[in-house]
């Protein structure tokens, strides 16, 4: 395992300093970084890794982690830069592509997210996060039918997965199928009573129905918010498989 970690750090990397770091120094730098991240101090979490990065600027692992930390810090250009460097080190890495999606999603760059998602699906057709982020991207691009197809595909594997159930309901809502979407949101609340997305949209749908039934606005329709629509997943540092951290 120790050799694996060091080899990942040095993947296609040449130390630029005269004296490369020892295993212990690398390990301690990562430990400090994890401690700072846990406390929400992303600036110091990044600083803790700088000695490793300076010694191995083209290393896979250090760039992957810096991409994640810069994403958490809201520094999306830096995040994108380091995820791309990780991909340069190991071009076949699915987790690096998944990571690269995060700063792009945060900037609403949905066409690029869609492209990266299809890149992942060529390697791993049923990749959980790849399909989830593809559905989100397609929905933001108003490609609701295509998003629905992705959701249904994944629900054959994960029938009670609330992320894909919410995504399916949101796609159907975009298609104007409000009653169908409402039923799915109601089922989500059976599986996950505190689900924020399902609660929010059920309230909107119920309010819309109430208004329409009173005849005060027969033309009123529930619409998806322009800028968002919930990203129903909770991104993790790797996000390479369902439930991974």
Tens digits of per-residue pLDDT, 152-191?
A: 999 999 999 999 999 999 999 999 999 999 999 999 999 9
Please say which residue of 31, 64, 91 terminates a domain: 91
Averaged pLDDT, 86-93: 98
In this structure, the answer to whether residues 12 and 102 fall within a common structural domain is no
In this structure, the answer to whether residues 12 and 115 fall within a common structural domain is no
Question: What is the pTM assigned to this prediction?
Answer: 0.83
Mean pLDDT of the chain: 87
In this structure, the answer to whether residues 152 and 221 fall within a common structural domain is yes
Residues 40-70 have pLDDT tens digits of: 999 999 999 999 999 999 999 999 999 999 9
In this structure, the answer to whether residues 109 and 12 fall within a common structural domain is no
In this structure, the answer to whether residues 64 and 135 fall within a common structural domain is no
In this structure, the answer to whether residues 118 and 79 fall within a common structural domain is no
The CATH number that applies at residue 12 is: 1.25.40.10
Total domain count, the chain: 2
Which one, of 152, 203, 156, lies nearest residue 175 by Cα?
A: 152
Determine the structural domain holding residue 51 and report its residue range.
Answer: 1-91
């Amino acid at each position: 395992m120790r050799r694996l970690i060091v080899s990942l750090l040095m993947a296609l990397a040449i130390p630029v300093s005269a004296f490369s770091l020892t295993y212990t120094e690398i390990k301690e730098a990562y430990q400090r970084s994890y401690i700072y991240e846990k406390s929400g101090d992303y600036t110091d979490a990044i600083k803790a890794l700088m000695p490793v990065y300076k010694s191995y600027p083209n290393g896979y692992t250090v760039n992957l982690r810096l991409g994640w930390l810069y994403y958490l810090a809201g520094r999306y250009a830096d995040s994108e830069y380091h995820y791309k460097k990780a991909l340069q080190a190991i071009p076949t890495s699915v987790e690096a592509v998944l990571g690269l999606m995060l700063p792009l999603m945060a900037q609403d760059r949905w066409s690029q997210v869609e492209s990266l998602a299809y890149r992942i699906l060529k390697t791993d057709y049923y990749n959980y996060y790849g399909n989830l982020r593809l559905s989100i991207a397609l929905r933001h691009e108003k490609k609701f039918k295509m998003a629905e197809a992705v959701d249904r595909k994944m629900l054959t594997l994960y029938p009670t997965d609330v992320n894909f159930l919410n995504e399916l309901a949101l796609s159907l809502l975009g298609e104007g199928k409000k009653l169908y979407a409402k039923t799915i949101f109601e089922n989500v609340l059976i599986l996950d009573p505190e689900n924020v997305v399902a609660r929010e949209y059920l309230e909107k749908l119920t309010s819309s129905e109430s208004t329409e039934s009173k005849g005060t606005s027969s033309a009123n329709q529930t619409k998806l918010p322009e800028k968002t629509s919930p990203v129903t997943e909770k991104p993790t540092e790797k996000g390479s498989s369902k439930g991974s951290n």
